[in-house]
């Protein structure tokens, strides 16, 4: 374990002991607000200190086993070596767990998200790729037991989407998907390509955490322009004959959101307002992230949509995430929703970066 991490953990252990003494002090008990604040702090750091104590006990056991490995009895030495190997592996796991506990959690990790996918460079092939990405995320959501709700779509002429916006709900959605924002690039031979040439197309992906009104910036109703229009549909008995679709423009920022999935104008307006809050919060977080990134070398998931974050190369069956130099040759599985290996690698890199900042 690095000395900087150990010292930080030791300071936290000292702080827990100090809080324990304060919580038993009658003068503190007589002040309900201070007592409550200290109790909350104690509950927050207690699991970390207990884990550190387990790690230190493991270190002591490992030192004892290594000392036994110098015994004159061959049987004792062999037993000690086996025990030392097991303890070293367990200590390494404990250290990883401690490092993860040191990284402050993102308060938005358990929030649902709005997923926006837009075709960029590449015309019809980009729209088809947008459809592939939407299907990839939908299948990943299904694997994790999440629900996907389509909010609005603009179909491509030859399949896929020029734009598709959905809401994904479930446990830990934002924690898993927040690193997906950015420019995704595809390299493959389009079905319409007669010469067999590989084309390159791009789509932008934005993952916006859904937030409650109390968690976000205040929205002045006077700064909104609300337009209603008739939802597009396939016709038949369910075609929408009323102006139920809603488009909201936030005048100070120029942000435009719309929702046409629900048949009720009231529901569409509520969903559009929720999406607007998410976009305003995302813009604020992006500004803060850009400021933070000036002093940080690695930028994982900054939300910069001009950043090419990933390439899907179909002829080679290869996926490359350029932010962490991850290359996997199992593109078929990934495009069918098996994304955990990619997500886990991004999360590990993010935690490592956050931990380096703490040091």
Q: Is residue 176 a part of any domain in this protein?
A: yes
Domain boundary among 296, 326, 344: 296
Q: What is the CATH number of the domain that holds 123?
A: 3.30.70.1660
Domain boundary among 273, 296, 319: 296
Question: pLDDT by residue (tens digit) across 175-212?
Answer: 999 999 999 999 998 876 667 788 899 999 999 888 76
Separation between Cα atoms, residue 292 and residue 296, nearest integer Å: 7
The structure's pTM equals 0.64
Q: Is residue 88 a part of any domain in this protein?
A: yes
Does 156 share its domain with 193?
Answer: yes
Does 51 share its domain with 168?
Answer: no
Low-confidence ranges of the chain (pLDDT < 70): 192-194, 212-217, 231-243, 262-263, 288-307, 358-359
Question: pLDDT by residue (tens digit) across 245-289?
Answer: 888 888 888 888 888 776 677 888 888 888 888 888 777 777 766
Does 161 share its domain with 220?
Answer: no
3-state SS class at 197: coil
Q: Is residue 305 a part of any domain in this protein?
A: no
Does 113 share its domain with 198?
Answer: yes
CA distances from 355 to 93, 103, 270, 349 (A): 16, 6, 39, 10
Does 143 share its domain with 128?
Answer: yes
Structural tokens at position 296: 């940080």
- Count of the separate structural domains present in the chain: 3
Predicted confidence at residue 303, as pLDDT, reads 35
Q: Is residue 303 a part of any domain in this protein?
A: no
Does 229 share its domain with 266?
Answer: yes
Q: What is the CATH number of the domain that holds 245?
A: 3.30.160.20
Closest CA to 136 of 332, 318, 275, 348: 332
């Amino acid at each position: 374990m690095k000395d900087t991490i150990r010292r930080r953990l030791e300071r936290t252990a000292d702080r827990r002991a100090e809080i324990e003494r304060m919580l038993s002090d009658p003068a503190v008990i007589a002040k309900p607000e201070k007592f409550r604040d200290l109790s909350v702090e104690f509950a927050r750091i207690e699991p970390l200190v207990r884990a550190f104590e387990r790690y230190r006990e493991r270190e002591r056991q490992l030192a004892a086993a290594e000392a036994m490995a110098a015994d004159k009895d061959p049987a004792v030495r062999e037993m000690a070596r086996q025990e030392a190997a097991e303890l070293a592996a367990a200590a390494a796991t404990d250290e990883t767990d401690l490092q993860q506990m040191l990284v402050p959690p993102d308060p938005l990790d358990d929030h649902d998200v709005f997923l926006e996918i837009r075709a960029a460079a590449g015309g019809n092939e980009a729209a088809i790729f947008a459809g592939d990405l939407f299907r990839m995320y939908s299948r990943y959501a299904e694997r994790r037991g999440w629900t996907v709700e389509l909010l609005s779509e603009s179909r491509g002429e030859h399949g896929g989407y020029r734009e598709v916006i959905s809401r994904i709900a479930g446990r830990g959605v934002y924690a898993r998907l927040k690193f997906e924002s950015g420019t995704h690039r595809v390299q493959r031979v389009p079905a319409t390509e007669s010469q067999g040439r590989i084309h390159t197309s791009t789509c932008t992906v934005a993952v916006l955490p859904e937030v409650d009104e109390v968690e976000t910036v205040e929205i002045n109703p006077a700064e909104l322009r609300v337009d209603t229009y008739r939802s597009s549909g396939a016709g038949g008995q369910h075609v929408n004959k009323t102006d139920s679709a809603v488009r909201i423009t936030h005048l100070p920022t120029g942000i435009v959101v719309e929702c046409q999935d629900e048949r009720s104008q009231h529901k569409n307006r509520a969903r559009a307002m929720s999406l607007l809050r998410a976009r305003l919060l995302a813009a604020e977080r992006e500004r803060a992230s850009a400021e933070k990134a000036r002093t940080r070398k690695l930028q994982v998931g900054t939300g910069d949509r001009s950043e090419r974050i990933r390439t899907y190369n179909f002829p080679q069956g290869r996926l490359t995430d350029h932010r962490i130099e991850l290359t996997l040759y199992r593109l078929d599985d990934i495009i069918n929703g098996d994304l955990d290996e990619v997500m886990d690698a991004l999360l590990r890199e993010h935690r490592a970066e956050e931990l380096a900042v703490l040091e």
